[in-house]
């Protein structure tokens, strides 16, 4: 079994679940999990956890992300992206300065109302299921953090060019070829760094609302999730070829590399069973990079088995002079998750 994280570039048309299913077939192992959904039309970085690395899924889901997005001003849809039904459209006449100011006003803490077409649940039912039934329910705003917005281009587009789908089929275009009479619009491209739980299509819609003309996301590419970036991501075809050639292990990030900023500790021979069972470890049970007196209460350390296998993350209980398990990564008999 392969343990670790592989940086996948999700291509257009695949769901995150599709990627996991494909990898199970390629790698011939079931223990695989993704770290956050991307819509089928969206592309980009999707870290996938393998084996014991699946215990990192929650950690990576909580990581800040960076996206490159395109959106049209002058149109709103029910899905807030180009796949939806047009709710309103208008000709746009806006200065570039006004557009930039409206977009940049969302930098910082921002209360965002999740879209109806999302996987969030209300009373046990996913919002997109309710939306498909023609029902709209009240959603509470959620506080998200926009760390950075960089506007790359602001382009006036005619009805003729608006009706064309991008030549690059790896990203979503503007599938409006059946509505050639649309008035002139403005196409904006931007990069957004944001916290977990941020909907970029909702941000595009909100920018359009602020400008009073409507906004509709036309393309989305996730270019970074935490330490994983687009330049080092592999497409499924590349992963399949490398696996067949026995070269894939070089592209899998070991689990403990996610914690290299933590002090390292190795279990002592007489305390191996305590570690394997996920029990608390006394200060003398491990040989640590730092003396126990140098560690602060709550500080975490990465603990290794006698053979050098990464076993667990423990935290310091200063008053008790011991380490308490945070999460086990070694597959030991009786070990906690």
Positions marked catalytic: 39
Answer whether 37's CB lies under 8 Å from 119's CB. yes
Q: 216 has which bridge partners?
A: 72
Greatest distance between any 2 Cα atoms in the chain: 78
> In Å, what is the CA distance from 116 to each residue of 132, 233, 244?
9, 31, 42
DSSP codes, 264-301 = EEEE-GGGHHHHHTT--EEGGGEEESS-GGGSPTT-EE
How many of the other CB atoms lie within 10 Å of CB of 168? 11
Residues 315 and 262: beta-carbon distance below 8 Å: no
C-alpha distances out from residue 174 to 128, 304, 311, 333, Å: 21, 51, 49, 54
Question: What does the alpha-carbon distance between residue 303 and residue 288 come to, in Å, rounded to a whole number?
Answer: 9
Quick one: how many helices (H) and strands (E) in the chain?
A: 8, 20
Task: List, in order, residues 6 or more apart from 241 with CB less than 8 Å away.
Answer: none
């Amino acid at each position: 079994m392969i343990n670790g994280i592989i940086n996948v570039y999700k291509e257009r048309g695949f769901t995150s679940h599709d990627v996991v299913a494909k990898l199970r077939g390629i790698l011939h192992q079931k223990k695989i999990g993704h770290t956050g959904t991307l819509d089928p039309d969206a592309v980009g970085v999707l870290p996938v956890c393998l084996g014991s690395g699946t215990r990192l899924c929650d950690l990576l889901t909580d990581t800040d992300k960076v996206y490159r997005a395109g959106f049209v001003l002058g149109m709103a849809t029910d899905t807030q992206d180009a796949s939806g039904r047009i709710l309103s459209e208008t000709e746009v006449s806006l200065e570039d300065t006004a557009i930039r100011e409206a977009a940049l006003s969302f930098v910082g803490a921002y209360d965002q109302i999740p879209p109806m077409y999302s996987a969030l649940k209300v009373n046990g039912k996913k919002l997109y299921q309710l939306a498909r039934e023609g029902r709209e329910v009240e959603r509470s705003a959620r506080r998200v953090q926009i760390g950075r917005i960089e506007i790359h281009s602001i382009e006036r587009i005619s009805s003729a060019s608006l009706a064309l789908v991008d030549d690059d089929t790896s990203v979503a275009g503007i599938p409006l070829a059946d509505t050639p009479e649309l008035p002139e619009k403005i196409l904006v491209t931007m990069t957004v760094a944001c916290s977990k739980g941020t909907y970029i299509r909702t941000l595009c819609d909100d920018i359009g609302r602020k400008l009073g003309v409507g906004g509709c996301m036309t393309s989305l590419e996730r270019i970074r999730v935490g330490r994983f970036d687009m330049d080092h991501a592999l497409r499924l075809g590349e992963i399949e070829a490398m696996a067949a050639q026995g070269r894939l292990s070089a592209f899998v990030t070991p689990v403990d590399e996610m914690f290299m900023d933590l002090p390292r500790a190795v279990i002592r021979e007489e305390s191996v069973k305590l570690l394997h069972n996920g029990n608390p470890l006394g200060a003398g049970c491990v040989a640590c990079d730092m003396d126990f007196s140098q560690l602060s209460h709550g500080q975490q350390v990465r603990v290794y088995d006698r053979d050098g296998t990464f076993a667990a993350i423990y935290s310091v209980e200063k008053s008790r002079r011991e380490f308490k398990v945070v999460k086990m990564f070694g597959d030991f008999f009786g070990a906690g998750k």
